[in-house]
Amino acid sequence: MVSYKCLNSEDVHFSSAEMSEESSPVQEQVTLVETEEASLLPSRLPCSVTTGLLMIGCLLLLLCGGWLLGTMFWLHSPSNQVPYRPPPPAPAPTPDSPLQRNHCVSGPRHDACSVIPEEWRFDCYPQGVVTRESCEARGCCFVPVSIHPSGKNGIPWCFYPRNFPSYSLKSLNGTSLGQKGSLVREVKTYYPGDILNLEVDIRLETDTRLHVRITDPMNARFEVPISVPSATEKAKDPAYTVEVSEEPFGLIVKRSSTGAVLLNTTVAPLFYADQFLQFSTSLSSQFIYGLGEHRSTFLHDINWNTLTLWARDVPPMEHTNLYGAHPFYMAMEENGTAHGFFLLNSNAMDVVLQPSPALTWRTVGGILDFYVFLGPDPGSVVEQYMEVIGYPAMPIYWALGYHLCRWGFNSSDSTWEVVKSMRNYGIPQDVQWNDIDYMDRFLDFTFDPTNFATLPDVVKDLHAHYQRYVMILDPGISSTQPEGSYWPYDEGLKRGVFIKDANGNTLIGKVWPGLTAYPDFSDNVTHEWWYENLKNFYEKVPFDGLWIDMNEPSNFLDGSTVGCPDSSLESPPYTPGVLGGTLRAKTLCATAQQKQSLHYNMHSLYGLMEAKASASALKRILAKRPFVISRSTFPSQGQFSGHWLGDNRSQWKDLYTSLAGVLTFNLLGIPLVGADICGFGEETQEELCVRWTQVGAFYPFARNHNALGMMPQDPTAFSLPARTAMKQVLLLRYSLFPLLYTLFHHAHVHGHTVARPLMFEFPKDVKTYGIDKQFLWGKSLLVTPVLDAGVIYLDGYFPKGVWYDYYTGDAIRSAGEVLNLHAPLDKINLHLREGSVTPTQTPNQTLWVSSGQPLHLVSALSDDGSACGDLFWDDGESLATYETNQYAYIVFSVAQRVMTSQVLRNHVEATYITVDSVTFYGVKQEPSRVLVNSHDAVFTYRENQVLTVENLGLNLSQNFTISWM
């Protein structure tokens, strides 16, 4: 393991250590790495004193020449120990010498700094402009680097030497779950409020989950208030070993089966001050995913890439902290294995990726509370992460239909006209939305009595046509209405539900209605007040779901109408790279007071807590599965809401980046996710909107939405060819509802992804690791969309195996290669993976109607003639149908020219559905006879090896067989 030595400008004594590479795990799978102590350098004067003496010596050279020469000779005297080698460019650098104890002086020797490779530099001065003097005052190495030819240069000039002081492990004792130890720092850092004594709790919670907590044993610190599982016994056969470096303290987590290093915190010093916590780790490879919310490729760039987490209202753009904060990453290892890491911390933070490869966590509060998930495959990593943060909710059935919205419906009648136009053209639509236009002066829980007077009638008409209505709500509550005229504010003030400023007064910001107060959703009293407001409004307008926006929370001001106090909370010693440069930028003061803690700690939890309150209220009002879409998100939010990717633009680039966003949020446990189809800001173009509708038809959450002042972009607004192409692909989505609904069931029960990266299904194929222009629904439906203008042919990668054209059944036998596909404007390329059975349904204009239509099964056979698939079916809207066994579950399998339907759980809902037809792709010889439940049946066989059996009329609730010979 790499050891580091550290130096500070203060006159202090410290020690450091290395860990032996040959350490072996003990019975508890936690190894304490033994070390030896030896003097590395002679004792020297403190840094600040030495620097001063040198300056005086230069000024008084003639008088003190002899003294100066002696001092120089002393400073350059050789060490009596072999110097440390630099960490090699590998996931787990190793040392070549035992523990060294050092009594240090000023800045590190130049040769000790120059041997550290650029890619292994850990930034000692991450904020502000660094100079040699300011760097060396921190006891760090200062070695400038030239600008790379590309002009991009993120290599730190100021970085930690290997002997920078850190914590040492003073004791380590066994516990029922693992080990617990005490850590001591003898050297203060350059940040105020060092916590010199810490406790580390190493918990082997399951065979595939390690949990580590580093806390202040003397004082309680803020901890993220979400529920996590509590292990009761230690893992019996963990897939990992834990090695503990004694001095300096560090953890090394390895995969038992391969020895791969998954976590190695010995590569850089540990910081644990009141407002600055930092640790680093080597990475197993350059393949890193997650760490939302950012606009980027699905596979993160590790070339000195800093990702800031702090919820912010800003249209998606690169290198910017966006709406949500998700401190979770998944990393690939060699041979296709994968692991995950989750830091349970909600404070503002930077996550720094560097090409060593390595990663640094840098946060301004809370504790270090983290998990390592062993996988070993990508899907298992996500499942294990869901076990900790909570499984996604099962959506109500109509959530998976087509949603239509815009900012700029100037009346309820204009909203109604679009709905009627969609019906007239026979274009599927399940849900109509309204943006803030519907409100009376942008006041929550009101509707415009003039322009939206017919809104209750619109909603009634939607319900009569089996359609639904969703409205927007912002958290900001107007504080300027005449007393007694606006119940939400008056009652909220009376109950004390609003966030307070540092002086205990209601904090006032500004959003759409003007001056506003912000509900404190960390308080259960606020949840009840929120429910009562929704219930009162529901009695006027019987809405079906909620769109909660502006909940970062957003503020048109920085902090409040009276600013924010001058304090370390508002201006911490270190401020992560947040947009605006301060924590209060376009949000609330960090010093604002909430029920559970300061806004400094709670800020990025605001959207989660509002979503939780909203979902709870909808359950009480509707007694059905709640539908909530939120802009701001945090881990565990999939239990309460979905997410849309924010205020994108009508540009081809935004269409492309939306795929990475959708795939990332499936990793993060929020599978009900999508982007604004056709783009929100700017004018869309017809070709772009057609292509975007084709992609959006395969977003798990599909909504068309655009901005105020933009031309209409609903499907009826375009030419006949464009409108027809959009209609066809939306009908295609509706025909695949049985598949999509079943995928959400598996997400809810098992933590599976819905929109799935190719690398999840093909983790041993490195070519899939960076693919984010294609994706899968589940394990078998491959989507290859057009993402560029003027394209009618495109390349798509097909992993090794047999793939079938979804529309024709034509087979593609791929060796793992890129193939060129025809993609006219009215087509999105879909392919089925061999070995799958896909349930489909005759589509209609609403899911209520189409979900009652007969099923058509599509079997894509493997070379050996096998295939399998399943179907989850219930009433589509009742709460907890899986948990209460109110559902049907059917498994379809094909082997040796026989398809079998096996009803593993029956329910009355299955009796309403029939299987009308089955198609088999890849039947190599034309059958002479087809039997359905041992009776002859009529069939067709095409030259491309497609067998179809129709007019079956088989009840879904009963087992059946179809065979051919």
Please determine, for residue 63, whether its predicted confidence score (pLDDT) is greater than 70.
Answer: no
- Residue corresponding to tokens 């850190």: 166
Nearest 10 degrees: Cα torsion 574, 550, 614, 394: -90
Burial 602-636 (b: 16+ CB within 10 A, else e): bbbbbbbbbbbbbbbbbeebbebbbbbbbbbbbbb
Give per-residue pLDDT as tens, 939-952: 999 999 999 999 99
Q: Residue 382: what residue type?
A: V
Nearest CA-CA partner of 126 in 166, 163, 87, 155:
155
pLDDT digits 0-9 by tens, 514-539: 999 999 999 999 999 999 999 999 99
Backbone angles phi, psi at 917, to 5 degrees: -155, 160
Structure tokens at 761: 């299904």
- What are the Cα distances from residue 671, in Å, to 276, 288, 638? 33, 19, 7
Average pLDDT, the chain: 90
Nearest alpha carbon to residue 322 among 136, 65, 577: 577
**Exposed, middle or buried by CB within 10 Å (0-12, 13-18, 19+), for 449?**
exposed
Look at residue 97 in the predicted model and tell me its pLDDT: 28
Q: What percent of the chain has pLDDT over 90?
A: 87
Q: Are strands 888-895 and 898-905 parallel, antiparallel or unpaired?
A: antiparallel
Name the token pair of 125: 């001065």
**3-state class (DSSP) for residue 637:** helix
**What number of other Cβ atoms are within 10 A of residue 901's Cβ?**
20
Structure tokens given for 451: 């322009």
Kindly tell me if the per-residue pLDDT of 753 is higher than 50.
Answer: yes
Tell me which amino acid residue 917 is. S
**Looking at residues 55-83, what average pLDDT do you find?**
35
CB burial of 293-330 (b: ≥16 within 10 Å; e: otherwise) equals bbbbbbbbebbbbbbbbbbbbbebeeebbbbbbbbbbb
What are 510's strand-pairing partners?
515
Asked if 509 contacts 465 with a C-beta cutoff of 8 angstroms, the reply is no
d(CA 240, CA 237): 9
What tokens does 811 get?
């087979």
Q: Which pLDDT belongs to residue 915?
A: 98
Both tokens of 481, joined, read 């209405």
The predicted pLDDT at position 3 comes to 33
Higher confidence at residue 825 or residue 66? Answer: 825
CA distances from 663 to 377, 698, 732, 759 (A): 16, 12, 21, 11
Q: Among 295, 281, 297, which Cα is nearest to 341's?
A: 281
Q: Which two tokens stand for residue 4?
A: 């580091």
Closest C-alpha among 102, 104, 86 to residue 94: 86
Alpha-carbon distance 383 to 340, whole Å? 10
pLDDT of the residue at 15: 26
What's the sign of the alpha-carbon dihedral 583, 587, 591, 596? negative
Q: What is the identity of the amino acid at 518? A: Y
| Mean pLDDT value across residues 183-190 | 97
Mean pLDDT on 707-726: 98
pLDDT band at 924 (very low <50, low <70, confident <90, very high): very high
pLDDT confidence of residue 75: 30
Cβ contacts of 186 within 8 Å, gap of 6 or more: 12, 13, 14, 15, 165, 168, 196
What are the phi and psi torsion angles at 467 (to 5°)? -115, 170
The 3-state DSSP class for residue 725 equals helix
Q: What is the pLDDT of residues 196-209, one digit of tens each?
A: 999 999 999 999 99
700 contacts 662 by C-beta, under 8 angstroms: yes
Query: In this structure, what token pair is assigned to residue 640?
Result: 């309460």
Query: Across 826-937, where does the E strand assignment appear?
Result: 829-833, 836-841, 855-860, 867-873, 888-895, 898-905, 914-921, 930-932, 935-936
pLDDT greater than 50 at residue 92: no
Phi, psi for 386 (deg, rounded to 5) = -65, -30
Contact assessment for residue 125 and residue 135, using Cβ atoms and an 8 Å cutoff:
yes
Q: Which of 5-19, 703-717, 806-820 has the lowest mean pLDDT?
A: 5-19
Please say if the pLDDT value at position 94 is more than 60: no
Closest CA to 139 of 189, 76, 81: 189
pLDDT top residue among 331 and 14: 331
For residue 79, name the pLDDT band (cuts at 50, 70, 90): very low
Structure tokens at 161: 């030497």
Cβ–Cβ under 8 Å, residues 471 and 544: no
426 SS3 class: coil
Kindly list the catalytic residues.
Answer: 549, 552
Assign 147 a pLDDT band (cuts: 50, 70, 90). Answer: low
Mean pLDDT of 854-869: 98
Asked if residue 751 has pLDDT above 80, the reply is yes
* Cα(530)–Cα(536) distance, integer angstroms: 10
Antiparallel, parallel or unpaired: β 141-142 and 101-102: unpaired
If pLDDT is split at 50, 70 and 90, which confidence band does 146 have?
Answer: confident
pLDDT tens digit string along 300-317? 999 999 999 999 999 999
Q: CB within 8 A of 671, min separation 6: which ones?
A: 392, 638, 642, 665, 700, 744, 747, 753, 754, 755
Helix boundaries (H) for 425-507 = 455-464, 487-495
Residue 31 confidence class, pLDDT cut points 50, 70, 90: low
CA-closest candidate to residue 102, choices 166, 19, 34:
166
Which two three-digit tokens encode residue 638? 């999939």
Could you tell me which residues are beta bridge partners of residue 371? 211, 342
E strands in 458-588: 468-473, 477-478, 508-511, 514-517, 545-548
**385, containing H or E segment:** helix 378-389
pLDDT at 272: 98
**pLDDT tens digits, 770-789:** 999 999 999 999 999 999 99
Region of 613 on the Ramachandran plot (φ > 0 left; ψ -120 to 50 alpha; else beta):
alpha
Paired residues of 201 in beta bridges: 180, 213
Give per-residue pLDDT as tens, 890-907: 999 999 999 999 999 999
CA 747/CA 752 separation, integer angstroms = 4
Residues 6+ apart with CB under 8 A from 818: 795, 796, 797, 798
Q: What is the pLDDT of residue 356?
A: 97
CA atoms of 410 and 400, how far apart (whole Å) = 27
d(CA 552, CA 603): 7
DSSP-derived secondary structure letter, 80: S
For residue 200, the SS3 value is: strand
User: Which of 18-32, 463-477, 683-697, 820-834 bottoms out in mean pLDDT, i.e. has the lowest?
Assistant: 18-32
Measured in residues, the chain has a length of 965
In this model, does residue 188 exceed pLDDT 90?
yes
Q: Which residues are paired to 329 by β-bridges?
A: 290, 341
Map tokens 């933590």 to a residue: 751
Identify the pLDDT of residue 110.
72
What pLDDT shows up at residue 107? 62
Write down the pLDDT at residue 54. Answer: 37
Arithmetic mean of pLDDT, 38-64 = 36
Q: In what order do the strands lie in the sheet with 250-255?
A: 30-33, 240-245, 250-255, 261-264
